Structure 1
Amino acid sequence: MPDTPARNTIATPVIVFDGDCVLCSASARFVLRHDYGKRFRLAAMQSPAGAALCRPHGIDPDNPQTILLVQGDDVLRDSRAILAIAAGLGFPWSLLCCLHLVPRGLRDRVYRLVARNRYRLFGRRENCFVASPEDRERIF
């Protein structure tokens, strides 16, 4: 079965992020720069593929309040997605997994507080996220 935007059937996890958010775009660039094994692919929520991955999970791509990590049928969001991405990047970023000791409800509350205020705190991009030429095959 071929990979479709609505369902990621390939083994490569896809990070779906807010391409309009300065913090989120910087985080996407960070992942691309530190993902030496090229484990992750990325999709901006505002792209057709990203929107198709968001909608089945109740996320409005025009007003996203979370990040998604889509791995086949598994979908992680909020702090669980962030910690899974950190684990996938390997050492030293995988050390952030010790935050699993913090109760998920508290981690997610902090995540949502930042997410609700991200444009005010970090700004909104005037232009859409554009990957470097060497990373373009990892963006859809």
Structure 2
Amino acid sequence: MNIILFDGECHFCDATVQFIMKRDHKKHFKFASIQSDIGQTLMEKFHVPKSIDSVIYIEGDNCYFKSTAVLRISRKLDRGWKGFYLFTIIPTPIRDLIYDKIAKNRHKLIKNNQCSIPKKDDLDRFLQ
């Protein structure tokens, strides 16, 4: 199973989930907020540090963070988004510097202060 853990209190993260869902017509991904019970359980299972400020991507028995998580997610998206996986040729520390810069400013990047309500057809993609 492919699970994306996201910050349920972050509007940028909500927008990211919506972005992924619109480009994942095969429904590869399930979603859970980090703050949810299932999110906390998965973080413990995969020994994710509480201090991590990152999207967390669980693919099978592996767990990925920061830019690696984003790029691994991109390879399962529709159309040209798969091509972003090529950025894995850039060393992880450099990619993560860019990721950290965006993460640090994510609350400023989205002015909308309302999270989306999932469509009825998408409710099964959110883990409770």
Query: Please, what TM-score do these two structures have when normalized by structure 1?
Result: 0.79
1:47 to 36, 44, 67: 36
Aligned to 1:57, the other structure's residue is in SS state: coil
Please state how far the C-alpha of 1:126 moved relative to its aligned partner: 5.5
Could you tell me how far apart the structure 1 residues matched to 2:89 and 2:60 are? 26
1:77 to 65, 72, 76: 65
The letter of the residue matching 1:33 is K
RMSD, aligned CA: 1.9
Structure 1 125/52 Cα, relative in aligned 2: closer, same or farther at 3 Å? farther
Unaligned runs of 5+ in 1: 1-11
Q: Residue 34 of structure 1 corresponds to which residue in structure 2?
A: 23
Could you tell me how far apart the structure 2 residues matched to 1:90 and 1:33 are? 9
Query: Please, what TM-score do these two structures have when normalized by structure 2?
Result: 0.86
Percent of aligned positions that are identical: 27
**Equivalent residue runs for 1:96-115 within 5 Å:** 96-115=84-103
The letter of the residue matching 1:131 is P
Could you tell me how far apart the structure 2 residues matched to 1:16 and 1:82 are? 12
Unaligned runs of 5+ in 2: none
